[in-house]
Amino acid sequence: MTKIAVLKEVASGETRVAASPETVKKFIGLGASVAVEKGAGLAASISDADYEAVGATIGTASAVIKDADIVLGVQGPDPKALKGAAKGAWIVAGLDPFGQRKRVDEYAAAGVEALAMEFMPRITRAQSMDILSSQSNLSGYKAVIDSAAAYGRAFPMMMTAAGTITAAKAFIMGVGVAGLQAIATARRLGAVVSATDVRSATKEQIESLGAKPIFVENVAGIEGEGAGGYATEMSPEYQKAQAELVSSHIAKQDIVITTALIPGRAAPRLISDVQIASMKPGSVIFDLAVAQGGNVEGSKPDEVVIKHGVKIIGYSNTPAHLAADASALFARNLFNFLSAFWDKEAGKPVLPDDDEITAAIRLTKDGKVVNERLLG
């Protein structure tokens, strides 16, 4: 019987857990056994009893990892913590392969097969397995909610006997999954919303959510879309035109949310100190890329920075601020992935070497680093 281990996350500020009672029950339904480290779900409002009620065993880290065939994590476990796992065990988690490159080598040396869930390709059949999308959705929502809390005024227009309060103006920079959710949330709260992106294809998506697109129209030939639907870096001409347009627009905004990330690279700088100074005092900027270097000059992870009277906010781990929902979605992503490759006869998941998903997410196998993105 395939043994699946769920470890308690040890990274600072990590409140999520890689399995929920729902997914544990489903794994057991496939014929696996599931062992969960004591207290693994507490920060996500899941008790040990909740796991036991659906058939999991609860134990210490060493008992849980012993003879485990598959280890589930939100962030990659310390290779030393895998001592006692079955030979060739799978590690299925967000492994931050570029940021934790040395650790990938240690996984290879330990003989485990490391599968980086954030490398999941953006193809139709992998959508339900995509941890970046599920977690970004919640991040986009949380960025707006916490910006609203930090903003000393109301979001919607309010007509009262004492006079009218004008609606807040919110500007979303970067219209991926997080950006789209930020637009939708800001609109629900009653703000007047505008948005921009380097990919011209997002214009219709912005309009469909009732927001105003802010785009450079006069610089031809730049789509800004790279492999797998992710944004790429822009040309100098485009950056200059974009900066001029955005500068004039930012000065009129109350709330700005930046969401721009480039996989494997430092986050692009979108807002300069000069632009911050042009904003009204009391405005709020939320930098969703602060942990990757930041889109906003002067932003710091997990600190509220005040510059020119403007509050700049950003969390090193935004989804962890919504632990219960983030865990539920993350756990489903992992289950959807493993169940899609589950071989009933073998009683375990089997990854074909020639599968597009395998090639994308497999980092190590048979003691070697095998992923092209890490070897290139």
| Torsion region of 186: left, alpha or beta (phi above 0 gives left; psi -120 to 50 gives alpha) | alpha
The two three-digit tokens of residue 55, written as one number:
């058939």
Q: How far is CA 71 from CA 22, 92, 176, 288, 375, in A?
A: 17, 6, 30, 29, 24
Q: What letter does residue 16 receive in the DSSP assignment?
A: -
Which residues does the annotation mark as catalytic? 122, 127, 130, 133, 230
Give the whole-angstrom CA distance, residue 165 versus residue 340: 52
The two three-digit tokens of residue 312, written as one number:
């700049």
Q: Which is it for the CA torsion 111, 112, 116, 121, positive or negative?
A: positive
Transcribe 116-173 into DSSP letters.
Answer: EGGG----GGGGGG-HHHHHHHHHHHHHHHHHHHHSSS-SS-EEETTEEEPPPEEEEE
Q: How far is CA 191 from CA 41, 153, 170, 247, 256, in A?
A: 36, 11, 6, 20, 12
Transcribe 76-107 into DSSP letters.
Answer: PPPGGGGTTSPTT-EEEEE--TTTTHHHHHHH
Give the whole-angstrom CA distance, residue 323 versus residue 261: 22
3-state secondary structure of 113: strand
Neighbours of 309 (CB within 10 A): 12
Strands 3-6 and 70-75, how do they pair?
parallel
**Contact (CB, 8 A) for 54 and 24:** yes
> Whose structure tokens read 């930046």?
258
The two three-digit tokens of residue 177, written as one number:
């999954």
Instruction: Name the amino acid, one letter, at 369.
Output: V
